Amino acid sequence: MDGVAQRPDRRGLPPAAAWREFGERFVHALKYLIAAGGTGMVAFAGFYALVAVFALSLVGPGLRLLPPSLALLRRGADVHRRRAGHWLGRDIPSSYRPAEGKVLGRAQVMLTDKATYTDMLWLLAHAVVGTLGAVLALGLCLGSLSWLTVALWWQLVPHAQLLVWSVDSWWAVLGATFAGLVYGALAGFLLPWYARLHAVMTRALLRPRKRRASLARRVEELTVTRAEALEAHAAELRRIERDLHDGAQAGMVAVSLRLALMRQLVRDSPERLPDMIDQTRDLADRAVQSLRVAVRSVYPPVLVDHGLPEAARALVAACQIPTELDVVSGTGGARAPAAVEAAAYFVISEALTNVAKHSGAAHSQVRVRTTASRIHLSVWDDGRGGAADGEGSGIRGIRRRVAAFDGVTELDSPPGGPTELRVELPCGS
């Protein structure tokens, strides 16, 4: 399939389960926006207080206030990183430079840290977007409640009126009830959307920025990556050894024993030889099949012969869940290094295995986009989500395999779904 495929809508949920999931997501969004509105109003005052501290720092007295003020800003930003990350189903790490020592030293480190200024920008954006979100949530929910309860009290209040609507007949009550339902529908669809908008804004402003790493930092990262690669390699060797021992080796031992029995039967019971030969041949076939499976798990022949796109099609065709494949190649027919293609193949294989075993999905999608310098992978499913809260060994294995190539792994899996695993593998040396 060429081009960009459209992601399928979630289907297959019973109506009761779908409404329950809709209600849970609405309540979660309402809580999120009310909390964001409360902290948003505090953020207005905090932003102007920080501006005042910065101004005082220019003449001296504000320098002592600067480190504790920025430390408080960092704690508030970390709280919202966790809340936005929980809503989006992914972690939003912080990347502050450590500020230690005396007041002037800490102030200098914080003032030269780019994260300080992105935090300030987020504080102002959160003050506006968070407060508006709370106003929207309260306005729609209270408006819906007011309109829907008109039938209970309009006869008790002379000249009852809501906004510009005079409630003086049952027809007006019916119209008010319809308006309440419209308010409720708007709240049900707009609040989760707005909560996600706020979370995405928070992630965009507060996620770590790529910066030129120091030599020591880079050496530390490469040391950790090398250790993870060696651990993954050792685990793979143990798995291959176990497969060979339990499969091919056991089969060949059984064949050897059968051959010894056949030698005995040649002298004692030659009439039993045909049956024994058939049994031995079956054992040999099973041993050879086991050996083929072990060899294919090391490096699949379809990957060697036809490349990553055809190998991905084979994985998608074998998946138990209906899966779409979207392949876009920008390499002009050139292939990535064999080790990188193998890593991409096993990432797709492990991700689809996780989808089939754990997601409860009705549909999934695999995207493969290759360029001259990178392979981009995406595995999406419409399952129950929540994978980021408790990553299993499959996701950890994917992260280790990708880290061995200095690649990037991102998992987006909010509770209720959908789940998307994104992987980027560099093809250069």
pLDDT of residue 266: 73
Virtual CA dihedral for 29, 30, 32, 36, nearest 10 degrees?
Answer: 130
Q: Please report which confidence band the pLDDT of residue 213 belongs to, taking 50, 70 and 90 as the band edges.
A: very low
- Mean pLDDT lowest among 176-180, 266-270, 330-334: 330-334
Answer yes or no: is pLDDT of 210 > 60: no
Residue 361: partners with Cβ closer than 8 Å, 6 or more residues away: 321, 355, 381, 382, 383, 384, 417, 419
User: C-alpha 66: how far from its chain's center?
Assistant: 36
Residue 107: partners with Cβ closer than 8 Å, 6 or more residues away: 57, 63, 66, 67
Task: Tell me the per-residue pLDDT of 2-15, one tens digit each, with 9 for 90 and over.
Answer: 333 344 444 444 56
Answer yes or no: is pLDDT of 130 > 80: yes
Please, what is the average pLDDT of the chain? 75
Answer yes or no: is pLDDT of 380 > 60: yes
Which residue do the tokens 């086991």 mark?
A: 290
pLDDT of residue 9: 45
Contact call for residues 165 and 176 (beta carbons, < 8 A): yes
Q: What is the mean pLDDT of residues 341-355?
A: 85
- Mean pLDDT lowest among 219-223, 276-280, 379-383: 219-223
Q: CA 314, 327, 1 angle in degrees (round to 5)? A: 85
* H helices present in 269-337, as ranges: 273-298, 301-306, 308-318
Q: Please report which confidence band the pLDDT of residue 18 belongs to, taking 50, 70 and 90 as the band edges.
A: low
Task: Tell me the per-residue pLDDT of 38-79, one tens digit each, with 9 for 90 and over.
Answer: 888 888 888 888 888 877 877 766 677 778 888 888 888 888
Bond from prior residue into 208 cis (ω within 30 degrees of 0): no
Residue 131, class by beta-carbon neighbours within 10 Å (0-12 exposed, 13-18 middle, 19+ buried)?
buried
* H helices present in 89-169, as ranges: 103-111, 114-148, 150-153
Contact call for residues 320 and 359 (beta carbons, < 8 A): no
Which of 42-51, 234-243, 332-341 is the most confident on average?
A: 42-51
Instruction: Determine the Cα–Cα distance for residues 87 and 139; give it in Å rounded to an integer.
Output: 22
Answer yes or no: is pLDDT of 212 > 60: no
